């Protein structure tokens, strides 16, 4: 099965973002001196491909279904100036060859950050991404066991 990761427009930049739950919680802020090597969706897609055994949707592989992750959140949230956690959240759809959604699931992972800075946020986001990969693989395995993916080629 193929994997495709899409990102909300506010995640379409290599900035490492954070929010302050105690001060304008919806406002996204960026670490001034820290950046991802690429956009978060691209990095997450590479990571999920390695961890789940799926293939890239644009990799030329012929598959009848696509697992599409619409990434909605990939940031560090500070509850207080000293306490924060990473949040990775998205909606996953399995889309068949006729572009019909055959299954859908909301996934959300929250992981504590060891330090209240960009380094702590990045480490927590990597850990959260690992848990997201596990949840995604487990969900797909359940769908396979229940016969939902019978027309997807496994």
- Where exactly are the structural domains of the chain? 2-145
Band (pLDDT 50/70/90 cuts) for residue 61 is low
Q: Report how far apart, in Å, the C-alpha atoms of 20 and of each of 75, 98, 119 are.
A: 11, 42, 17
Rounded distance between C-alpha atoms, residue 12 and residue 136, angstroms: 22
Q: Write down the pLDDT at residue 12.
A: 86
Q: Does residue 71 carry a pLDDT above 90?
A: yes
Rounded distance between C-alpha atoms, residue 94 and residue 82, angstroms: 39
* pTM attached to this predicted model: 0.91
Q: Write down the pLDDT at residue 3.
A: 94
Q: Write down the pLDDT at residue 60.
A: 53
Q: What is the pLDDT of residues 74-99, one digit of tens each?
A: 999 999 999 999 999 999 999 988 88
Q: Percent of the chain having pLDDT more than 70?
A: 95
Q: Write down the pLDDT at residue 57.
A: 80
Q: What is the pLDDT of residues 2-20, one digit of tens each?
A: 999 999 888 888 999 999 9
Domain 2-145 has CATH 3.30.420.40: no
Would you give the distance in Å from CA 50 to the centre of its chain? 13
Q: What mean pLDDT is predicted for residues 102-113?
A: 97
Q: What mean pLDDT is predicted for residues 32-38?
A: 94
Lookup: tokens for 134: 């596990």
């Amino acid at each position: 099965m193929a994997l495709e990761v899409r990102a909300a427009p506010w995640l379409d930049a290599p900035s490492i973002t954070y929010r302050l739950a105690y001060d304008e919680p919806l406002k996204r802020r960026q670490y001034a001196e820290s950046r991802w090597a690429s956009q978060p969706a691209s990095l997450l897609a590479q990571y999920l491909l390695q961890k789940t055994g799926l293939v890239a949707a644009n990799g030329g592989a012929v598959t009848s279904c696509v697992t599409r992750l619409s990434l909605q959140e990939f940031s560090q949230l500070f509850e207080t100036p000293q306490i924060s956690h990473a949040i990775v959240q998205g909606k996953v759809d399995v889309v068949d060859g006729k572009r019909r959604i055959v299954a859908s699931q909301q996934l959300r992972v929250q992981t504590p950050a060891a330090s209240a800075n960009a380094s702590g946020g990045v480490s927590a986001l990597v850990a959260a991404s690992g848990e997201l990969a596990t949840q995604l693989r487990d969900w797909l395995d359940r769908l396979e066991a229940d016969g939902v993916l019978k027309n997807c080629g496994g």
